[in-house]
């Protein structure tokens, strides 16, 4: 399968890439790892006139940890994240999710920037980004802006990024003391995409009860979402509240229904995997 | 568009269309047909090659994206007619039947063993998750990789 014809450019600076992007009048697409975009182009679901390869832009492939948290460049691959001891220490659910993406070869190519910018309804990293309450830095012709995770995913394959913006960095704030995180996934056995993936971050207070919980679900609806009903049902409660809280994981969500799984089954998976992710996160918070 | 890359230690330069896939560049332009195309949809791993040290699916990479890269294919593994230990493992442990998946399995194993020279059975099975085999049932592929891991670490048992 061949994609439709296109021009290819590989600029060596962010400014050049931004210039090419705005000159294209919406006809160009950025390409990073290409492992979401190329399959779509081969199926002719996407037919950009120009591909702007951003992998030669310097400064976008670092992982940094400081007191404020974890900062990851848009071009860092899922494999780099999965094998980074710093990430494993700073945000265990991110390591776990990156390690569960696709397979070894996919992880060697797929980038965190591409994973978020693509907003695949079955992508793993969007759930972690939401549960960590992260933010992205986007560069456009008129400068830089920050977009919070809660504002980022708009719809299926649609984010708050403008057509002529490039996502450069992803920030995950440092976890509060006594916070545990976990990612639980039920993947499709052939593609390894998530039928359901749940990221959970749980902070316990002095008395051992849950001070705050953030839970995000992917694979179930048109985009990854925060399960607010679950979060509210946990605040101020103990571990005995998990089961009932997890029951609310798909409340108000129009669940995907396709050849891989019915809407009803997906809602069921969301509840089960929310309970599992929460149980592990809570255990880690208490450890 | 002009590209140049090193494949199995040899430098190549060609003028290619941007939409040419790396796997077709390797097979049709360089005539290295050991790298296979199975699914053409990034699922089966038959097209796996090593690009700048990492196993990748060449059906989901443009040849132009591999400009200036170092590529290794199955043809580059044996040295002076002597099979690479991973190839020997597949031979000794009967790790193939039709052989269609084998080049991809072997190239994935190169990456797997580089990062984890002594993988457990579970780690091997997870490592080759992106490679499908329709013949063997994987059992002997796992044994072949275990054989290679032993040989390569010099602890042949
Ligand atoms: C067989 C297979 C299995 C997979 N399984 C999983 C899985 O289990 N879980 C999972 O999460 N993913 C999975 N994926 C998807 C894979 O992880 C993709 O690589 C990833 O989602 C996209 O990253 P990329 O770098 O390849 O992006 P690309 O394909 O290069 O780009 C995707 C989109 O994002 C845009 N984009 C990329 N980078 C930027 C940027 N910096 N700024 C603005 N826009 C940008 C592009 O223009 C494009 O629209 C799978 C893919 C394959 C082929
Ligand atoms: S041919 Fe590339 S993964 Fe199947
Ligand atoms: S040996 Fe036939 S597909 Fe693996």
Is A68 found in the same domain as A165?
yes
Query: Which of B25, B28, B39, B54 has the most A C-beta neighbours within 10 Å, making it the best mutation to test the interface with A?
Result: B54
| pLDDT score for B154 | 80
Helix (H) / strand (E) element for A214: namely strand A210-218
DSSP at A260:
S
Is A191 found in the same domain as A158?
no
Average pLDDT, chain B: 96
> Looking at the domain assignment, is residue A107 inside a domain?
yes
Rounded mean pLDDT of A102-123?
A: 97
Is A214 found in the same domain as A164?
no
CATH number of domain containing A130: 3.30.465.10
Instruction: Return the ligand 3 atom nearest residue B134 CA.
Output: 3
> Looking at the domain assignment, is residue A142 inside a domain?
yes
Question: Which pLDDT tens digit goes with each residue over B83-136?
Answer: 999 999 999 999 999 999 999 999 999 999 999 999 999 999 999 999 999 999
Is A189 found in the same domain as A279?
yes
The answer for residues whose C-beta is within 8 angstroms of residue B56's C-beta and 6 or more apart is A105, A108, A109, B48, B49, B50
Query: Which residues line ligand 3 at a C-beta cut-off of 6 Å?
Result: B 96-101, 133-136
- Tell me if chain A has a CB within 8 Å of the CB of B17: yes
Is A69 found in the same domain as A47?
no
Q: Residues B105, B111, B112, B116: what is their CA dihedral angle, to the nearest 10 degrees?
A: 160
> Looking at the domain assignment, is residue A2 inside a domain?
no
Whether A206 shows a pLDDT value over 90: the answer reads no
CATH number of domain containing A33: 3.30.43.10
Q: Which ligand is nearest to the CA of B94?
A: 3
> Looking at the domain assignment, is residue A1 inside a domain?
no
Rounded mean pLDDT of A91-96?
A: 98
- Tell me if chain B has a CB within 8 Å of the CB of A102: yes
Question: Which pLDDT tens digit goes with each residue over A4-32?
Answer: 999 999 999 999 999 999 999 899 999 99
- Tell me if chain B has a CB within 8 Å of the CB of A238: no
Query: Which of B45, B60, B131, B132 has the most A C-beta neighbours within 10 Å, making it the best mutation to test the interface with A?
Result: B60
Instruction: Return the ligand 2 atom nearest residue B43 CA.
Output: 3
| pLDDT score for B67 | 97
Instruction: Return the ligand 2 atom nearest residue B37 CA.
Output: 1
Domains, in order of start, for chain B: 2-75 (3.10.20.30), 85-153 (1.10.150.120)
Instruction: Return the ligand 2 atom nearest residue B45 CA.
Output: 3
Whether A205 shows a pLDDT value over 70: the answer reads yes
Is A221 found in the same domain as A167?
no
DSSP at B27:
I
Whether A229 shows a pLDDT value over 70: the answer reads yes
pLDDT band at B156 (very low <50, low <70, confident <90, very high): low
Contact: B40, A1; criterion CB under 8 Å: yes
> Looking at the domain assignment, is residue A131 inside a domain?
yes
- Tell me if chain A has a CB within 8 Å of the CB of B39: no
Whether B157 shows a pLDDT value over 50: the answer reads no
Owning domain of residue A167: 63-173
Distance in Å, CA A36 to ligand 1 centroid: 4
User: How far is Cα A233 from Cα A203, in angstroms, rounded to an integer?
Assistant: 14
> Looking at the domain assignment, is residue A193 inside a domain?
yes
Is A192 found in the same domain as A169?
no
Residue B75: which of B49, B111, B113 has the closest Cα? B49
> Looking at the domain assignment, is residue A104 inside a domain?
yes
Q: Any idea what the Cα angle at residue A96 is, between residues B121 and A191, rounded to 5°?
A: 70
Boundary residue ending a domain (A156, A173, A190): A173
Average pLDDT, chain A: 96
Q: Can you list the positions of beta strands (E) in A25-83?
A: 28-31, 50-53, 63-66, 69-73
Helix (H) / strand (E) element for A23: namely helix A14-23
Is A169 found in the same domain as A106?
yes
Q: Can you list the positions of beta strands (E) in chain B?
A: 2-7, 10-15, 48-51, 54-57, 70-72
Q: Pick A35's closest partner by Cβ from B54, B60, B128.
A: B60
> Which chain A residues in 25-44 lie under 8 Å from chain B, judged by CB atoms?
31, 34-35, 38-39, 42
> Does this model's pTM top 0.90?
yes
pLDDT band at B17 (very low <50, low <70, confident <90, very high): very high
CATH number of domain containing A240: 3.30.390.50
* Number of domain units in chain A: 3
DSSP at A199:
E
Instruction: Please report, rounded to a whole number, the percentage of residues in chain B having pLDDT higher than 70.
Output: 98
How many CB pairs lie under 8 A apart between chains A and B? Answer: 74
Is B24 near ligand 2, meaning CB less than 6 Å away?
A: no
Question: Which pLDDT tens digit goes with each residue over A138-162?
Answer: 999 889 999 999 999 999 999 999 9
Q: Pick A104's closest partner by Cβ from B62, B64, B112.
A: B112
Residue B79: count of CB within 10 angstroms of its CB = 8
Boundary residue ending a domain (A118, A144, A173): A173
**What is the full DSSP assignment across B69-111?**
-EEE-GGGT-BTTBPPHHHHHHHHTT--SS-SSHHHHHHHHHH
The CA distance from B81 to the nearest CA of chain A, in Å, is 28
Is A117 near ligand 1, meaning CB less than 6 Å away?
A: yes
> Looking at the domain assignment, is residue A208 inside a domain?
yes
**Are the beta carbons of A82 and A98 closer than 8 angstroms?**
yes
Residue A102: which of A33, A154, A158 has the closest Cα? A33
Instruction: Name the residue at shortest CA distance from atom 2 of ligand 3.
Output: B98
Is A200 found in the same domain as A275?
yes
Boundary residue ending a domain (A141, A173, A205): A173
């Amino acid at each position: 399968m061949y994609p439709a014809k296109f021009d290819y450019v590989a600029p060596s600076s962010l400014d050049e890439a931004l210039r090419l992007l705005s000159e294209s009048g919406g006809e160009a697409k950025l390409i990073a790892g290409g492992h979401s975009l190329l399959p779509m182009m081969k199926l002719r679901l996407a037919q950009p006139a120009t591909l702007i390869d951003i992998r030669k832009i310097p400064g976008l492939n670092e992982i940094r940890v400081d007191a404020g948290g974890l900062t990851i460049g848009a071009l860092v691959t899922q494999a780099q994240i999965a094998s980074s001891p710093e990430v494993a220490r700073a945000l265990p659910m991110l390591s776990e999710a990156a390690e569960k993406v696709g397979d070894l070869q996919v992880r060697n190519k797929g980038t965190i920037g591409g994973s978020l910018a693509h907003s695949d309804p079955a992508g793993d990293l969007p759930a972690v980004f939401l549960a960590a309450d992260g933010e992205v830095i986007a560069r456009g012709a008129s400068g830089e802006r920050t977009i919070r995770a809660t504002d980022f995913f708009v719809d299926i394959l649609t984010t708050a990024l403008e057509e002529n913006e490039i996502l450069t960095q992803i920030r995950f704030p440092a976890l509060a003391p006594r916070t545990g995180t976990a990612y639980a996934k039920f993947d499709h056995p052939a593609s390894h995409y998530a039928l359901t993936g749940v990221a959970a971050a749980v902070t316990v207070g002095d008395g051992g009860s849950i001070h705050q919980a953030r839970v995000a679900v992917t694979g179930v609806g048109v985009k990854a979402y925060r399960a607010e009903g679950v979060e509210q049902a946990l605040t101020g409660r103990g571990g005995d509240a998990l089961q009932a809280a997890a029951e609310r994981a798909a409340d108000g969500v129009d669940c995907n229904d396709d050849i891989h799984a019915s809407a009803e089954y997906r809602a069921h998976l969301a509840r089960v995997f929310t309970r599992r992710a929460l149980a592990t996160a809570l255990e880690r918070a208490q450890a | 568009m002009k590209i140049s890359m090193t494949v199995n230690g040899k430098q190549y330069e060609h003028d290619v269309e941007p939409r040419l896939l790396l796997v077709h560049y390797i097979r049709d332009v360089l005539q290295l047909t050991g790298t296979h195309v199975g699914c053409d949809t990034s699922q089966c791993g038959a097209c796996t090659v090593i690009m700048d040290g990492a196993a990748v699916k060449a059906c989901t990479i443009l040849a132009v994206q591999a400009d200036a890269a170092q590529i290794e294919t199955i043809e580059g593994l044996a040295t002076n007619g002597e099979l690479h230990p991973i190839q020997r493992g597949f031979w000794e442990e009967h790790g193939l039947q039709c052989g269609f998946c084998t080049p991809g399995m072997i190239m994935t194993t190169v990456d797997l063993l580089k990062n984890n020279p002594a993988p457990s059975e579970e780690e091997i099975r997870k490592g080759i998750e992106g490679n499908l085999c329709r013949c063997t049932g994987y059992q002997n592929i796992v044994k072949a990789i275990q054989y290679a891991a032993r040989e390569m670490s010099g602890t042949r048992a």
